[in-house]
A and B are shown apart, each in its own frame.
Chain A
């Protein structure tokens, strides 16, 4: 698989579950990305404000501020930055952000990341 138009990007993974962070980091290793991890909402917000990431992949339910407040804060700090929300809470689907239900398939995750980063996928 070859990705065209790729450049090294910064992706923040925000999840309080270490296993999730570990497997996401592993999955994103196939992409030209610098992966940063956050275990709390405040850390995630700090990374958004200081590192200007190209994408945030975040759990909906994390220690710290409520999800809606976090979303507003991230959008305020980085307008236009894509946010991929991963959660087992199906009620979050179909809202004003990209959503991936947990447990997600590897292919679905990578497709969503590629789409949000504007990377075109080509099977080679």
Chain B
């Protein structure tokens, strides 16, 4: 609820780029509004739309800046007020442009009324949608990251004890086997001429190898083969942001009809009096019923299937069909031919209907949809923590048992070799060639045994991809 209030008041979410994104819709409304007095001059429409957007943008940004400095949140009334001021600005600007280019009666009252109603209705809606869309972007990125981390933790948790053990022993073997071979070669090579310094040096190297083996068992990087976390990425496609199950579709349909009425009915009154008002009301009614029927169809589809993509396509088809019905109604209501206003309306009503319905259903649903994504993210984080804790506990147990297993056959033998070499170097040097040869042979045999013991500890490795495919 608090988030929804923030979102409604989040007029600052309407940034410069999102303000420019409003231009096509505003242009459409300028065409509709200017067609009330005949087919609009394209030059007038373009200049008026540009002038309105720039002037109202400057006024809006200034107003929002002033409000933002006073309060972190703008309550709904403030947003409606800002919308009304922007509408007033648009109405006055359009009148000035019309007066400058066309001259004559600028119908200030009608223009200002139309734009104030349109802006006061649409701007809060747009601000709310933009704010919640931005929140959705962040939530989806967080959710994506949380899901990756959960999958990663699940891979760790799914690893078998044998697999982990083999990985650690494999890491020990990879690290120390080459060193052992090298040391054995060096011992063999120097055997006839080994001196005290050589014994000490080889003893130290072997001591380092034994330390490395112990360190690897304690802390080897078992996560090396698992991809690290990627930085959060915002969903790049708009579709990913708007493709979700719509809440309260019938209410959204009714509201879409109401906001369409706010755009069409005042202009109809200006264009051709009450006759066009009746036509506009009929068009809105047909569209609203169409949107209702589409909501029923989408609800039935949702009960039978679960595909989000398919459901969104159904929604869009429903909106387009309703819009087409509205357009056909305009044509059917004018059997003798369309005047400029009706001609423009028959075209404009299609995008206006689709955008209104989409915006309304998005605005109504986004808050709760975002809450669900947030809740899902919390669940993922909790599950990740549980999986990670279990995996770490098991890994600790495996490392402890491995320490005991590796201790005698490998580390114990290496330690014995180190002691044999260094003791011999310290106690008698190499004065006794026979003893030196005896010690060297004993050490070589021991190193050979350590290598064999290490190889024997390795079992058939487990392919990590088979673990991932199980998830």
Contacts and interface: CB of A to CB of B under 8 A. Distances in A.
Q: Is the interface of B mostly helix, strand, loop or mixed?
A: helix
Contacts of B207: 103
Interface in B407-442: 407-408, 411-420, 422-424, 426-427, 442
Contacts of A34: none
B422 A19 contact: no
B446 interface: yes
A88 B416 CA distance: 10
A85 to B, nearest CB: 13
Contacts of B214: 88
A8 B426 CA distance: 24
A79 B342 CA distance: 113
A118 B427 CA distance: 22
A105 interface: yes
B412 A102 contact: yes
Contacts of A22: 420, 442
Contacts of B413: 17, 19
B77 to A, nearest CB: 69
A87 B403 CA distance: 12
B423 A61 contact: no
B408 A106 contact: no
B404 interface: yes
B210 A88 contact: yes
A105 B418 CA distance: 9
A102 B423 contact: no
Interface in B325-341: none
Contact of B407 (A19, A61, A106, A107): A61
B443 interface: yes
Interface residues of A, number: 20
Contacts of B446: 19
Interface residues of B, number: 26
Contacts of B411: 88
A59 to B, nearest CB: 8
Contact of A20 (B210, B419, B422, B424): B419
B200 to A, nearest CB: 11
Contacts of A88: 210, 214, 407, 411-412, 415
Contact of B422 (A17, A30, A103): A103
A72 interface: no
Nearest to B425: A106
A23 B404 contact: no
A67 to B, nearest CB: 11
A82 B78 CA distance: 87
A89 B415 contact: no
Interface in B439-461: 442-443, 446
A16 interface: yes
A107 B443 CA distance: 21
Contacts of A103: 203, 207, 210, 414-416, 418-419, 422
Given A27-B427, A88-B411, A103-B210, A19 B417 contact: yes
B119 to A, nearest CB: 75
B416 A19 contact: yes
Nearest to A63: B408
Interface string B257-273: 00000000000000000
Contacts of A51: none
A3 interface: no
Interface in A28-53: 30
Nearest to A102: B415
A103 B442 CA distance: 16
Contacts of A27: 423, 427
A17 B412 contact: yes
A72 to B, nearest CB: 20
A19 B443 contact: yes
B423 A106 contact: yes
A26 B408 contact: no
Interface string B19-33: 000000000000000
A103 B424 CA distance: 13
Contacts of B403: 89
Contact of B426 (A16, A17, A106): A106
Contacts of B427: 26-27, 30, 106
Q: Closest 3 CB pairs between A and B?
A: A103-B418, A102-B415, A103-B415
Given A19-B443, A106-B422, 14 more contacts: A16-B408, A17-B408, A17-B412, A23-B416, A23-B424, A26-B423, A26-B427, A88-B411, A102-B412, A102-B415, A103-B207, A103-B210, A103-B415, A106-B426
9 contacts: A19-B417, A19-B420, A20-B415, A26-B423, A26-B427, A61-B404, A102-B416, A103-B415, A105-B422
Interface of A: 16-17, 19-20, 22-23, 26-27, 30, 59, 61, 87-89, 102-107
Interface of B: 203, 207, 210, 214, 403-404, 407-408, 411-420, 422-424, 426-427, 442-443, 446
